[in-house]
Amino acid sequence: SQTIHQWPATLVQPVGSPLSLECTVEGTSNPNLYWYRQAAGRGLQLLFYSVGIGQISSEVPQNLSASRPQDRQFILSSKKLLLSDSGFYLCAWKGGNSNQPQHFGDGTRLSIL
Amino acid sequence: GNSVTQMEGPVTLSEEAFLTINCTYTATGYPSLFWYVQYPGEGLQLLLKATKADDKGSNKGFEATYRKETTSFHLEKGSVQVSDSAVYFCALSEGGNQFYFGTGTSLTVIP
């Protein structure tokens, strides 16, 4: 069966520091991969998605970037964090171009001080 | 374009009450529809889905029927429990790369 792993689960970082959040999927190949951010008490904001290695689509211009160095690995990065980057970050995968559901990781709670 | 609108929360119910969370959608084609549940501090879990008109998705006592004529996919449960307290998201996909999520409805069930 397929599983998705996100880490770390929680992270506290100072303003201006770099960021790297990692997401990996097991048990499937060539998935679509997604990064979302969820601010406290708010809905989901799609940040990036990827349909293949090295292919990244950015939905919202901001202080973050994403990379997909391997088929089942998706990384969210920042060179310098802002206070507004605080939130709950969720990674998700979906089986290619289909009407199948997205499956989510457990999320990373990022707090910027 | 595609969009999902769900009822504003928060919703507070007593245990064993009937639950309805409204969801309507706008789509250019024939989407699949989904309900997700998010428990505090966790990611989203797929609760149920329906892939075509008149399909009924069901899971854990929750049900939702895909109504094309009213473009709706309302979530219902006959008797809620304290453990159902969570945030519920309605979503649609037309098979492309993107999902469209509602803003979420927070449900609190009190004993």
- pLDDT tens digit sequence for B39-84: 988 999 999 999 999 999 999 999 999 999 999 999 999 999 999 9
Say whether pLDDT at B88 is over 90: yes
Which amino acid is residue B39, in one-letter code?
Y
Contact across the interface for B101 and A98, Cβ inside 8 Å:
no
* Dist. CA B31–CA B95, nearest whole Å: 7
Picking from B33, B42, B44, B106 by the largest number of A CB atoms within 10 A of its own CB, the best residue to mutate is B44
Residue A42 contacts B where some CB pair is shorter than 8 Å: yes
Q: What is the pLDDT of residue A95?
A: 87
Comparing CB atoms, the residue among B43, B93, B101 nearest residue A106 is B43
Give SS3 for B63. Answer: strand
- The residue count of chain B comes to 111
At residue A100, the pLDDT reads: 85
Q: Which residue of B has its CA nearest to A39?
A: B103
Rounded Cα gap, residues B104 and A105, in angstroms: 18
Q: Tokens representing B35? A: 């309900």
- Looking at the DSSP bridge assignments, the partners of residue B88 are B37, B105
Residues of B in contact with A101 (CB under 8 A): 32, 34, 46, 49, 93
State whether A103 and B46 contact (CB < 8 Å). yes
Asked whether the beta carbons of residue A99 and residue B31 sit closer than 8 angstroms, the reply is yes
Q: CA-CA distance, B95 to A18, in Å (whole number)?
A: 35
Would you say A59 and A48 are in contact if contact means Cβ atoms under 8 Å apart?
A: yes
Distance of alpha carbon A109 from alpha carbon A40, whole angstroms: 10
Looking at residues B72-99, what average pLDDT do you find? 93
Chain A residue with minimum CA distance to B5? A43
The residue of chain B nearest to residue A96, with distances taken between CA atoms, is B97
Number of H helices, E strands in chain B: 0, 12
Dihedral of the alpha carbons of A77, A83, A88, A92, in degrees to the nearest 10: -30
Closest C-alpha among A104, A94, A7 to residue B45: A104
A84 three-state secondary structure: helix
At B78, list the tokens: 């006959």
Position A70 pLDDT exceeds 80: yes
The Cα A103–Cα B5 span in angstroms is 21
Q: What is the model's pLDDT at position A7?
A: 93
Report the residue of chain A nearest B99, measured CA to CA. Answer: A102
- Tell me the two tokens of residue B99: 């999902």
Confidence check: pLDDT of A91 > 80: yes
End-to-end CA distance of chain A: 38
From residue B39, how far is each of A10, A48, A95, B86, B91 by CA, in Å?
A: 16, 24, 24, 5, 17
Partner residue facing A101 (CB), from B41, B46, B102: B46
